[in-house]
Structure 1
């Protein structure tokens, strides 16, 4: 479910946050489903439980998960988060496309790239 890339310059907790955000946004982790316990995930990934706790704190602060005292953490059913994540992505994409246009990338080249990416997804 979560894989850590030790070659990545991003801190481990940020990698965990991003992976869980994606799993939640894609609907792989359903609303109100229980998250892995801090201890179990730390053991599975062979990392310090404090790192998992920090990632969960960020996910909670951003509204992706919520805690229930004595029971653990659960996935939020907040559809506004999914909408916001998509809006953030489109904003980034807009910036990348503007940058490409500035350096001479054509609209046809951009469309070819987009079509290539979405065709890859059809085979997954």
Structure 2
């Protein structure tokens, strides 16, 4: 995908087919496909297979994940007694620091 060998909408091999080709356990391939889907790089159409995601779809998925992360983080910040502005300022401070993000 990143190398350009696959383009948006291209089908990926079935879990069984790829596992056989790579001589690995099908569960390993299934787990990898789930992770790619979670990251928005592929999408699954039930009964049809797994396909390379579009750049637009990937962006939409990332935006949705970012909103979910923000919501969970705000809930946790509230549990710590921080209001949203205090939490946002903390994020800005960390983002502006020279410390590497891990």
Q: What TM-score do you get using the length of structure 2 for normalisation?
A: 0.53
Structure of greater Rg = 2
Give, in angstroms, the shift of residue 26 of structure 1. Answer: 2.2
- Spell out, residue by residue over 1:60-114, the C-alpha distance to the aligned partner (whole angstroms, 9 max, x if none): 00000000000110000116869xxxxxxxxxxxxxxxxxxxxxxxxxxxxxxxx
**Matched position secondary structure for 2:32:** helix
Correspondence for 1:41? 18
Equivalent residue for 1:56, pick from 8, 29, 33: 33
Per the alignment, in what secondary structure is the counterpart of residue 40 of structure 2?
coil
Q: After the TM superposition, which parts of structure 1 deviate over 3 Å for at least 4 consecutive aligned residues? A: 79-82
In the alignment, structure 1 segments of 5+ residues that lack a partner are 1-23, 83-124
* RMSD between aligned residues: 2.2
Instruction: Give me the whole-angstrom Cα distance separating, in 1, the residues matched to 2:49 and 2:39.
Output: 17
The within-5 A match list for 1:74-89 is 74-78=51-55
Task: Structure 2: state its 5+ residue gaps.
Answer: 60-102
